[in-house]
Chains A and B, each alone.
Chain A
């Protein structure tokens, strides 16, 4: 049975957009963890 490619070709806008989205998500994750961490050390009200 013939297998077709699962690859895709990124459009120009997605070439820029996807990395930005991934970085934003990573920053948001780190910020969330940091806020929880600050709570641990009492710098923010506890959870």
Chain B
């Protein structure tokens, strides 16, 4: 099951490249932020894959920082930029997120490892062992919780809201389906913490893989060129 994180990494970085390409072609801060979020997703699964073969303290810290703390928040921030067009709300939140991310980086880099580090077991998932190895102070735990709540509500809630708008107006069926897939995919890694608590640490790998694959399919579906000539959508839409 561990090796799934290698495939998750490939999909996440391919997805990030696709989103950055779309940003290069069309602009839109939301695409830039999603690209950053997906790069963090890929960094998280990459470090996870590295730790299948060897333990590295920096890899463990980057895994926690990117996977557990920042990915959801940056992906969600992209959706905030797409849906919240009022004043300077979204840019202000982005600045706050950037500052919080830098603080998180400092906290994680400064976090000491415990004496249990030498007993890291390569045959076991990192998600089942990190608590014994990485010393997380209350600030790290609080930021992890807040960033995940913020990111999950923004990303999943935003996709559900967009899908609901398309459904209510009965327009752009591809974006309706795309947003449903994005919401479903985003929920999977968000629920991974529950799997870990339930003793199903291996499920983290599967949920990460299914999550990024579903989001990628959703993105492709929502951004697929349509054969008909269309006017611009009137509603704010997730994934444009």
Chain A residues near B (Cβ < 8 Å):
1-10, 18-19, 21-22, 25-26, 28-29, 32-33, 35-37, 39-40, 44-47
Establish whether residues B187 and A29, one from each chain, have CB atoms under 8 Å apart when the complex forms. Answer: yes
Establish whether residues B231 and A6, one from each chain, have CB atoms under 8 Å apart when the complex forms. Answer: yes
Q: Are A25 and B230 also in contact (CB < 8 A) when A7-B171, A18-B167, A35-B193 are?
A: no
**A29 proximity list for chain B (CB < 8 A):** 152-153, 156-157, 160, 183, 187
Q: In the complex, A44 Cα to B190 Cα: how many Å?
A: 16
Is B86 interfacial (CB-CB < 8 Å)?
Answer: no
Chain B residues near A (Cβ < 8 Å):
68, 141, 144-145, 148-149, 152-153, 156-157, 160, 163-164, 167, 169-173, 176, 180, 183-184, 187, 190-191, 193-194, 197, 226, 228-231, 233
**B194 proximity list for chain A (CB < 8 A):** 32, 35
**A45 proximity list for chain B (CB < 8 A):** 197
7 shortest interchain CB distances as A-B pairs: A4-B228, A8-B173, A6-B230, A29-B156, A25-B183, A6-B171, A32-B190
Establish whether residues B145 and A2, one from each chain, have CB atoms under 8 Å apart when the complex forms. Answer: no
